[in-house]
Amino acid sequence: MVLEETTVQNMAPISATGDNNMIYPNIGRTIKTALFKADNESRVIIGLSAATKILAKQPEGSLICLMAQPKAGDSATHMHEVLLEAFCYENDIYVIKVDCATKLSRILGTTIVESCCLIQKPWADKENENLNKSENILVDFCETYWDSPTQPIVKLPTV
């Protein structure tokens, strides 16, 4: 299932062109906003290898893992991503699947196309667990689909 910005269609992404209203309109733009804010605070870990290293050392510090659709034929990367996704669910880290690694990389400002990134929690201790508005929306979005057998794929805005 791929979600468009304002509609849910069977196996199609979230975009602003749909007719039906959704609970989370503009979720792709919300992801972009959350990434910009987290990046300004140095809380974004970019890349599969870097994310794996951070999660191995301190999984409780991660809030959201964004994962792009795997390329056809890249089975090694796909296996790493499946294991990363399972690890995230096991450690209560929210996973959001996005439609395109190229768009994700452009939003992150990287020249290398990366298939995933982590948004770290903005707090160091449990006393100040405050999220910004866009992160709260993303957490609510993830909670909505947490037990869903098929996770939606969010269509990111073009950059």
Q: At what angle do helices 101-108 and 27-40 cross, to 10 degrees?
A: 40
Q: Are 134 and 142 in contact (CB under 8 A)?
A: no
- Spatial neighbors of 110 by CB under 8 A, at least 6 apart, are 46
Q: Is 106 left (phi over 0), alpha (psi -120 to 50) or beta?
A: alpha
pLDDT score for 13:
43
CB of 83 closer than 8 Å to CB of 70:
no
| Dihedral, CA of residue 64, residue 89, residue 14 and residue 140, to nearest 10 | -60
Would you place residue 80 in the very low, low, confident or very high pLDDT band (cuts 50, 70, 90)?
confident
What Å distances lie between residue 33 and 1, 12, 22, 92, 148, CA to CA?
23, 23, 19, 22, 25
Per DSSP, 12 falls in state: B
User: Confidence class of residue 76 from pLDDT cuts 50, 70 and 90?
Assistant: confident
- Determine the Cα–Cα distance for residues 141 and 24; give it in Å rounded to an integer: 7
pTM: 0.82
Confidence of residue 127 (pLDDT cuts 50, 70, 90): low
Instruction: Give the chain's domains with CATH numbers.
Output: 2-154 (3.30.1330.30)
Condensed to tens digits (0 to 9), the pLDDT of residues 9-54 reads 333 444 333 332 356 779 999 999 999 999 999 999 999 999 999 9
pLDDT of residue 71: 78
